[in-house]
Chains A and B, each alone.
Chain A
Amino acid sequence: MTTVDYKKLKKAEKEASKHSAARNQISKGTNLFFNIVLIIGCVLTLFPLWIIIVSSITSEVALTTYGYRLWPLEFSVNAYTYLFRDGSVILTAYKNTLIATLAGTLLSVVTVGLYAYALSRPDFKYKKFFTFFSFFTMLFGGGMVSYYNMCRSVLGLKDTVWALFLPMSFSAYWVIIMRTFYQSSVPEAIIESARIDGSGEWRTLLQIVCPLAIPGFATVALFSAIGIWNDFRNCLLLNDKAQFYNLQYTIYQTMNNLRFLKENASRMGGVNVANLPAETFRMAMAVVTVGPIIMAYPFFQRYFVKGLTVGAVKG
């Protein structure tokens, strides 16, 4: 009996709030205006990516003759066939980036997950110390010079695949997100009852807490994956040998070479600009670089937004 009444009450409440919300809405005209503004915003957002994609499927001749256009004047997938046929440089970079992203993401979920769990436990004796220990790194850092030297010579990361993910596998910011996530979505009572049932801390964490904290893990994983996949600075600082370059640094180098060649082509006289490394090829490189991470986005989006907001909002 009571449950039925309760349900009815809730339904009525919902209806009521729906009606009052309807009264307190923006006018249809304003709504239309907002829609138009946001559609323009979306078009502008997609435009730069559109230009890259279009130019990557334009034929090289059309691109050099007519420049970058809104539509491919002559359609061609040559850039991509060339990329995958003779792409040893990009393949190495892809391999490095993939290894770094997978390893780094796994590592960050484990390390952040563990660290944040201990901080989320009210009965951890050194909670305050370790909280401060990680928070302080958000406020103060040693700076690029000393980081550069420490990583290269003291930690020995120079010219290794490790350099592409280790420095980015842990962050105090993620610890805060993850800790807040544990606190808000894992009820203390569950942990207590597991303890009473004789479960040790590790078993409680693995079998009871972990399944509940998956959205939090997904958030940390996505943050970490984006950071490592899109990393440019660490590779620039730490890796000098081409066999250890990641994707971003590789395509950065390629662009630089292209610009250099173009600027000096006239001065060098005999060089024919049309014979220079193809621009469509470069644009195809940019497309393959950005592709996977954008593809991953829709799958992670709901976790991501949830995790971001849970972790960042005070209280």
Chain B
Amino acid sequence: MSMDEMTKPIKRKRGSVSETKRQWAYLLMVIPGTLFLIAFAYLPMPGVILAFKFYQMQVPPDGALLQNTFLYSLFHSNWNGLNNFTYLLKDAPMLIRNTVGYNLLFMVVGVILQVGLAVVINEMRNRKTAKVYHTIMFMPYFVSWIVVMYALYAMISPSGFFNQLITSMGGQTIKFYSQKQYWPWIFLIANIWKYTGQGSIIYLATLTGFDDQLYEAGAIDGATKWQQFRYITLPQLMPVIVMLQILAVGRIFNGDFDMFYSLPNGSGTLRQVTSTIDVYVYDMLKKGNLRNSFGYAGAGAFFQSVVGFFLILITNGIVRRHQPDMALF
């Protein structure tokens, strides 16, 4: 996926009319996309300084250079040093534990299941059925988290399917929406459900591209299927696994906002195990009555963007030092 690999440029006369015309055509082609990138990716970037500001809304006076209230307030609010981070600190251990913990859990379990599924499907003797299985397991990727929230409600609410099952066997109704201990499992299962089929696609595609001769040679030398997996498949799959994990590490302070925000169904008692940094930032953002709520939210967002950015650089650097081929850039 390295971005700068290019085929050798074709030598041609520079400066000819058609050459200039061509460059203009190319530039015209990138303009719409560039506008989108500027508007939705680059424009918000300077906003990371919110993390160090005591944000106060100020209406721009007539004749001010910035006539937009947000921009004017952003640049005219006082600096607040690291105080926004101090404010964040009291929730930080819980937020970081949740965000990083869930992400690591999803990464590890995800890789094992996705690679496993890809290998199993690749090895199956009945190819057509294997494809049907995969098609079905891919489907949850198309289902939004909000619909998952509905499905979850239908299963674990007091009148939900599981509670019906439990009570019919003589058990007590479990109040899932107010008991914390179940939620790490619920998130894990929901994540597995949604992403296993989709995540395995890329591994499956890589697997099918491997040279059969390696496996045949292995089989002739008496390697069992498991040994073939361990010593032929896995090493070849490693670059793809590593590449995907580098990207995942960069997003370790982000989370699936939709999932963490919607699945608990707004239950406040679960906050301790369902709040991630994303959710914190959103909650802060919406606290209109809190002074400097943007600043506090900004501190959380800063953490995600900047620390995440350096994490990805560091991980990539380490990988590049040991296995240059596997590095992302």
Contact = CB atoms under 8 A, between A and B. Distances in A.
B142 A145 contact: no
A35 to B, nearest CB: 7
A135 B3 contact: yes
B237 to A, nearest CB: 11
B139 A147 contact: no
Interface stretch (A1-9, A82-90, A149-157): A149-157
A145 B144 contact: no
A309 interface: yes
Contacts of B285: 144-145, 148
B219 A145 contact: no
B239 interface: yes
B144 A230 contact: yes
Interface string B13-34: 0000000011101110110111
A145 B301 contact: yes
A155 B10 CA distance: 41
A134 B125 CA distance: 43
Nearest to B301: A143
A124 B23 contact: yes
B120 A34 contact: yes
A26 B228 CA distance: 11
A185 to B, nearest CB: 14
A121 interface: yes
A26 B305 contact: no
Contacts of B215: 24
A110 B140 CA distance: 28
Contacts of A35: 124, 126, 129
A69 to B, nearest CB: 7
Contact of B139 (A39, A45, A131, A154): A45
Contacts of B71: 153-154
Interface residues of B, number: 117
A297 interface: yes
A196 B115 CA distance: 47
Contacts of A112: 33
A68 B158 CA distance: 10
A38 interface: yes
Interface string B158-199: 011101100000000000000000000000000001000100
Contact of B278 (A44, A68, A144): A144
A287 B136 CA distance: 17
Contacts of A264: none
Given A41-B133, A140-B305, A154 B33 contact: no
B324 interface: no
A290 B23 contact: no
A167 interface: yes
Contacts of B153: 255, 259
Overall SS of chain B's interface? helix
B33 A114 contact: yes
Given A233-B257, A283-B150, A312-B1, A252 B262 contact: yes
A142 B46 contact: yes
A266 interface: no
A38 B136 CA distance: 10
Interface in A188-213: 188, 200-202, 205
Interface string A24-39: 1110101100110111
Contacts of B48: 142-143, 146
Nearest to B9: A122
A176 B2 CA distance: 9
A142 B45 contact: yes
A313 B294 CA distance: 40
A175 interface: yes
A101 interface: no
Nearest to B36: A170
Contacts of B120: 34, 37-38
A314 interface: yes
A145 B297 contact: yes
Nearest to B282: A144
A30 B4 CA distance: 44
A64 B159 contact: yes
Interface stretch (B85-93, B94-102, B104-112, B205-213): B205-213
B297 A144 contact: yes
Interface in A275-315: 282-283, 286, 289-290, 293-294, 297-298, 301, 305, 308-309, 312-314
27 contacts: A26-B124, A26-B225, A46-B139, A67-B160, A117-B29, A118-B26, A122-B6, A140-B309, A142-B41, A142-B43, A142-B44, A142-B48, A143-B44, A146-B46, A146-B298, A148-B285, A153-B69, A154-B70, A232-B144, A233-B258, A251-B147, A259-B266, A294-B139, A297-B138, A298-B135, A309-B201, A312-B205
- List of 9 A-B pairs having minimum Cβ-Cβ separation, nearest first: A146-B47, A143-B301, A142-B44, A115-B33, A309-B205, A48-B151, A230-B144, A170-B36, A67-B159
